Amino acid sequence: MTSATSPFDPVTIGPLNLRNRFIKSGANEAMCLDGKPTKALVKHHRDLAAGGVGMTTVAYMAVAKVGRTLPNQIWMRAEVLPDLRVLTQAVHDEGAAISAQITHGGSFVTGMKVRGRTISSSAGFNPAGALKGNFFQRAMTEADMAQVVAEFVAAAELARDAGFDAVELHMGHGYLLNQFISPLSNRREDEYGGSAENRVRFPARVLAAVKQAVGRELAVLAKINVADGVRRGATVEDAIVTAQALQAAGADMLVLSGGRNVESTWFMFGSNMNRETIARVLKQQGEWVTALMMKAAASSEPKIDFKEMYFLEYSRKIRAAVELPLAYLGGTKSLANAEQAMAEGFECVVLARALIHDPALVNKFRSGELTESGCDNCNACVAYIYHPAGTWCVHNPPNDPLLNTIPAAAVD
């Protein structure tokens, strides 16, 4: 680990050198079409790189076609290489690094019908997929596990060939690898279920295989939950076990997030979702039933007032338990917050909403133009993962929807 006095200091993560400690979090951009990145996605990440981040993260790149959650999401195959190379080059041209967040949704498929039962850690009813007719899920077999490991490896190798500097395996928020880690999903009675050590066994196997395949060329990161945030979910003590297992598997850094997409979005964002805006955007796209379900979900959520650095107490416990680099995420809104993360022993600081609000925030922190973000945590930006123009801050001018209809590699 490298001690830091400033978030503007460079840092080395595995084979990767970053110009500073600020990382744009993987947050669903909705800037892809037919499984390919669009020119809107290129602009989004180019703007972040030009705005000063050390590294930007491309969200939710599925390792297989059936691993998508929403129908347009990027899925990794040779056909998308030209588009991915345009994306990575745009970021490199601005002096930043770029990470590919690779994952598999498993049973968390909310935007399309999947043929047959979705895979997961355990069998049974699939509440996340029910709105699109994915009513049931099946427990993965050893053959399924071997296939998914191979898919993650192939996706990481494709990311390397496309010019990415890092891969981030998403093991949080209720996606497939988290469906093993979290007792909310994992009811297995074999060596992959029961104890926290057993539940992380398969995710650690995936990471070790990816590390072996690309670890000399790419930094291999994992995004994990510090806790699920709900009763009977994974606790911070479970997260410590997960972090220690991933350290042993060879992770170069862990990104510390929290919460689950179905059970505890309020915990994930440190504040309640903007259900009214989500419902309005969904209705505009003809998703009336989904909009009604989203609105109904708000009635069962606890009322949460946003506070800065809302995952700090959890993350401190993980910091004390492992030696590998950790990236702090959760309620960082000011330069003082970022400096506190460095003082607490975290190697990097990860932001999403503050950078959606202002992609140039890091440069403004450095110049002294700003000391804190103008983001008000309204969470309306989250609603626009369902919009044809992609996510944007509602306090800014809207995105150009035309850019989201053109593949990244299309000739102007």
CB 58 within 8 A of CB 73: no
pLDDT of res. 299: 64
pTM: 0.95
Tokens at 7, concatenated: 């978030």
Confidence of residue 279 (pLDDT cuts 50, 70, 90): confident
What is the rounded CA–CA span in Å between residue 373 and residue 196?
Answer: 37
Percent of the chain at pLDDT > 70 equals: 96
Task: Work out the mean pLDDT of the chain and round it to a whole number.
Answer: 94
Tokens at 78, concatenated: 């040779």
**Count of other CB atoms within 10 angstroms of residue 302:** 10
If we measure between CA atoms, which residue out of 337, 386, 335, 407 comes closest to residue 131?
A: 386
Q: Average pLDDT for residues 76-94, to the nearest whole number?
A: 98
Residue 133 has pLDDT above 80, yes or no: yes
Confidence of residue 4 (pLDDT cuts 50, 70, 90): low
Confidence of residue 273 (pLDDT cuts 50, 70, 90): confident
What tens digit of pLDDT does each residue of 184-242 get? Answer: 999 999 999 999 999 999 999 999 999 999 999 999 999 999 999 999 999 999 999 99
What tens digit of pLDDT does each residue of 338-356 get? Answer: 999 999 999 999 999 999 9
pLDDT of res. 262: 87
Residue 1 has pLDDT above 50, yes or no: no
What is the rounded CA–CA span in Å between residue 360 and residue 263?
Answer: 33
pLDDT of res. 289: 57
Q: Average pLDDT for residues 104-118, to the nearest whole number?
A: 93
Q: Please tell me which residue, 298 or 387, carries the higher pLDDT value.
A: 387
Residue ranges and CATH numbers for the domains of the chain are: 11-403 (3.20.20.70)
Question: Cα–Cα–Cα angle for 79, 85, 88, nearest 5°?
Answer: 140
Three-class SS state of 49: helix
Residue 362 has pLDDT above 70, yes or no: yes
What tens digit of pLDDT does each residue of 114-132 get? Answer: 999 999 999 999 988 988 8
Residue 295 has pLDDT above 70, yes or no: no
* DSSP H or E stretch at residue 381: helix 380-383
**Count of other CB atoms within 10 angstroms of residue 183:** 18
How far is C-alpha 12 from the geometric centre of its chain's CA atoms? 21
pLDDT of res. 5: 77
DSSP string, 242-284: HHHHHHHHT-SEEEEE--BTTT-HHHHHTS---HHHHHHHHHH
Beta bridge partners of 220: 167
Confidence of residue 288 (pLDDT cuts 50, 70, 90): low
Is 102 buried (19+), middle (13-18) or exposed (0-12) by CB count in 10 A?
buried
**Residues known to be catalytic:** 175
**Lowest-pLDDT range, 89-93, 165-169, 271-275, 318-322?**
271-275
What is the rounded CA–CA span in Å between residue 118 and residue 348?
Answer: 35
Q: Average pLDDT for residues 88-111, to the nearest whole number?
A: 97
Confidence of residue 2 (pLDDT cuts 50, 70, 90): very low
Tokens at 255, concatenated: 């990104």
**Lowest-pLDDT range, 45-54, 148-157, 368-377, 384-393?**
384-393
pLDDT of res. 384: 86
Tokens at 43, concatenated: 């602009």
